[in-house]
Amino acid sequence: MSRNFFTFVLMFKHRMLKTKKMIMKKLMFSLIALAVAGSFAAFRPAHVALEAPTWTVDAVHSSISFEVRHFFSNVLGTFDKFEGTVKFDPEDLKTSSVEFSVDVSSVNTKNERRDNHLKSADFFDVEKWPTMSFKSTSITKGEGENEYIVKGNMTIRDVTKEMEIPVKFLGAMPHPMRKGAYVGGFTTEFTINRTEFGVGTGNWAATTVIGDEVKVRVNVEVNRQES
């Protein structure tokens, strides 16, 4: 009798332990799923909206850099002043959009003489066209995870051309230091043909000294404050 009771107790404990492990396993999977979904949820407002929420580019924690061939080497540079807004909802790309504006006079190649030449009429002619801009016309899902194709109009000097830019969404989360705020990030790399935009006139249009293809890298941090 006591042996049967002891056996029953052991079986009961074993079953309870097994059940507890199953519950913990399900709970862990649920937490992982919530963490993954959280980055996307940050881009969706708590209420039902008619359009994607608006995010502002944090220029202090963002960068625009470029690389172009000079003879057999490469020159690196940045644009240090820019602003932009992003409307992004991964579940409603039709209401998502991107607008970006760059102060061309902020070009920085760590050489004052070269920077002044780039600002002149030979290249950007900043006195006539102080900004270059990009405005999206559509955003569609890309091939990879969190990858998107942003189609829109790029304007440099007095030339506007349609471009498709691959963009990767890096994630989003509640801002740990700002109550009611969210922070997110995007990155992209693409190539621009400078001569198609008239950047480099006269002898500078030739590609012997300066290559026509300019590699551009953009990393942006965006912020949104919940109302």
The domains of the chain are located at: 1-41, 54-225
- Among candidate residues 209, 124, 222, the one with its CA nearest the CA of residue 182: 222
Which one-letter amino acid corresponds to residue 84? G
Confidence of residue 178 (pLDDT cuts 50, 70, 90): confident
Look at residue 90 and give its three-state secondary structure. coil
Confidence of residue 31 (pLDDT cuts 50, 70, 90): very low
Q: In which element (H, E) is residue 31 found? A: helix 2-41
Confidence of residue 24 (pLDDT cuts 50, 70, 90): low
Q: What is the pLDDT of residue 187?
A: 99
Q: What is the mean pLDDT of residues 9-15?
A: 49
Mean pLDDT for all residues in the chain: 86
Whole-angstrom Cα distance, residue 55 to residue 167? 16
Confidence of residue 9 (pLDDT cuts 50, 70, 90): very low
Question: DSSP letter at 7?
Answer: H
Confidence of residue 36 (pLDDT cuts 50, 70, 90): very low
Rounded to whole angstroms, what are the CA distances from 156 to 39, 49, 123, 159, 213?
Answer: 34, 34, 10, 6, 15
Within a 10 A sphere around the Cβ of 102, how many other Cβ atoms?
21
The domain over range 54-225 is classified in CATH as 1.10.10.350: no
Rounded to whole angstroms, what are the CA distances from 94 to 34, 38, 122, 166?
Answer: 25, 21, 40, 17
pTM across the whole model: 0.79
Q: What is the mean pLDDT of residues 201-205?
A: 93
Q: What is the dihedral of CA 168, 170, 171, 173, to 10 degrees?
A: -140
Q: What is the pLDDT of residue 30?
A: 45
Percent of the chain whose predicted confidence (pLDDT) is above 90: 74
Q: What is the mean pLDDT of residues 39-60?
A: 68
Q: What is the pLDDT of residue 27?
A: 45
Q: What are 130-146's pLDDT values in tens digits?
A: 999 999 999 999 999 99
Rounded to whole angstroms, what are the CA distances from 52 to 59, 134, 145?
Answer: 21, 19, 20
Q: What is the pLDDT of residue 152?
A: 99
Confidence of residue 44 (pLDDT cuts 50, 70, 90): low
Q: What is the mean pLDDT of residues 188-205?
A: 97
Q: What is the pLDDT of residue 225?
A: 86
Q: What is the pLDDT of residue 48?
A: 38
